[in-house]
Structure 1
Amino acid sequence: MADSRLSRMLHVLVHMHLLGDTETSETIALMLNTNPVVVRRTMAELKAHGIVSSTGGRNGGWTLARPADAISVRDVYRALVEGLPFSIALSSDHPNCPVERSVNALLVGSMTKAELTLSEDFAAVSIADLARMVRPS
């Protein structure tokens, strides 16, 4: 099953930047058509990585922990995604087989290049950049 947390949280973070206000878990849950508990759990992961902060109480909620131009897509990705971005498993049935070793070497090399490109692309785009795509300055 595909993990949509990155796209959904980028959506939320851009809205938070554009609105410039504190957003409650309930408001974010409505935005994402999900449960506030799911929002709190996911936002807690972002908070642990210094992307958002939270305040309690009557006017409490979630805010960006640093300026939107200082939060990259890669920052959000790393906060939410564990492991490798690709789920292509290597074969290990016949480790002494030169064909299996060649196939695995090709796959590892290609995935490594793709992961580097993905990381570089994600690092080059900030929440503020995404907001400018929506509302050009």
Structure 2
Amino acid sequence: MLIKYMDLDSFKEYLLKTVDELSTYHNEVLGENSKFIITPIEERGKSLNSTDEYLYRGMLNSNNLDGREFDIDSVIRMLGCRVPLCPLWIKVLLKEVRAEAPVIELQTSLRFRKPSLLQNQETGHPPFIAVLESLN
């Protein structure tokens, strides 16, 4: 089923569904209390349009993101700031399990597109996909 509609509530719901997949895989309680790190991924050979470039320069750059952890609402406001346009894809990985809050990494495309163009439609929660791998 192709997702053709996106708002901040559905964007958050899709992220939480993906985090649930990680919870099950790692047998850890993850969710809204998790901390998130955002890692923009520059895609070789893919050009950014003016909206993408604006968001990259203004918000999704290393000066703003490096060494910072965000709560889920900050993540939703940041990555969903142009809803219905969203990052083309977002890989969701469990980075670290800490007593106070697990850390989840969001590796994100810098290309923001309309819902019907988002990748990972088959997951039922585009643009997110859980990366199911062991912690190092």
Q: Normalising to structure 2: TM-score of the pair?
A: 0.27
More strand by share: 2
- More helix by percentage: 1
Q: Which has the higher contact order (CA 8 A, sep 6+)?
A: 2
Q: Select the structure of larger CA radius of gyration.
A: 1
TM-score under structure 1 length normalisation: 0.27
